[in-house]
Amino acid sequence: MHRIFTEGKYRKVCSVCNAVNYQNPVPSVAVIITDAEGRLLLTKRAAEPSIGLWCLPGGFIELGESPLDTLVRETKEETGLDVEPGEIVDACAKLNGFHGDVVIIGYTAVVTGGTLTPGDDAEETAYFSLNQLPQIAFRSHKHFIEKYFRIKIERQDEGKFY
């Protein structure tokens, strides 16, 4: 590998064929799930980064997997719940973090089955009312939560539901 200036920046290229080796952010998803009482489902992290803090279910998109496939898989792994994907809430980026640059897509989902039980890298799972949320591990997850509930209130004021 060597570096050349192309497309406005220095990039790694193959020394043999000069193919550009693009360095891209890692894609991931986070999932907003609420119960019938409007409480938010969170998982307590059992692994770094932010071990012991609470976050939305979610994780990294694997090769050969769509973001929606990841949403379903990660929710099942971390919470034991089966879900139907809903709408995109927003997308965020975390630059130079624990896992490098990460792009996070926030979605809603509806529970269709399963039994709430922590798994994979979740130490605990629980529903929380908005006025009693624990410390949230990631700024992007805080953003998704705030935006979801803001949109939900706006839609209810218009006679629509999320």
Q: Sign of dihedral through CA atoms 6, 8, 10, 11?
A: negative
pLDDT at 159 over 80: no
Q: What's the gap between Cα 84 and its chain centre?
A: 15
Q: Check residue 153 and give its pLDDT.
A: 81
Residue-wise pLDDT tens digits, 33-91: 999 999 999 999 999 899 999 999 999 999 999 999 999 999 999 999 999 999 999 99
What pLDDT, in 10s, does the model give residues 94-144?
887 777 899 999 999 999 999 999 998 899 999 999 999 999 999 999 999
Locate the domains of the chain by residue range: 24-157
Distance CA 31, CA 56 (A): 6
Whose tokens are 């050969």? That residue is 64
Give the integer Cα–Cα distance in Å for 74 and 162: 22
Residue 152 has pLDDT above 90, yes or no: no
Q: Which fold has domain 24-157?
A: Nucleoside Triphosphate Pyrophosphohydrolase (3.90.79)
pLDDT at position 160, please?
Answer: 56
Q: What is the pTM of this model?
A: 0.87
Catalytic residue, candidates 87, 124, 146, 154: 124
Closest CA to 87 of 112, 66, 107, 111: 107
Asked if 77 is an active-site residue, the reply is no
Give CA–CA dist 31/101, Å, rounded.
19
Give phi and psi for 156, each to the nearest 5.
-65, -40
6-36: pLDDT as tens digits: 888 898 888 898 888 888 899 999 999 999 9
Asked whether 150 and 157 are in contact (CB, 8 A), the reply is: no
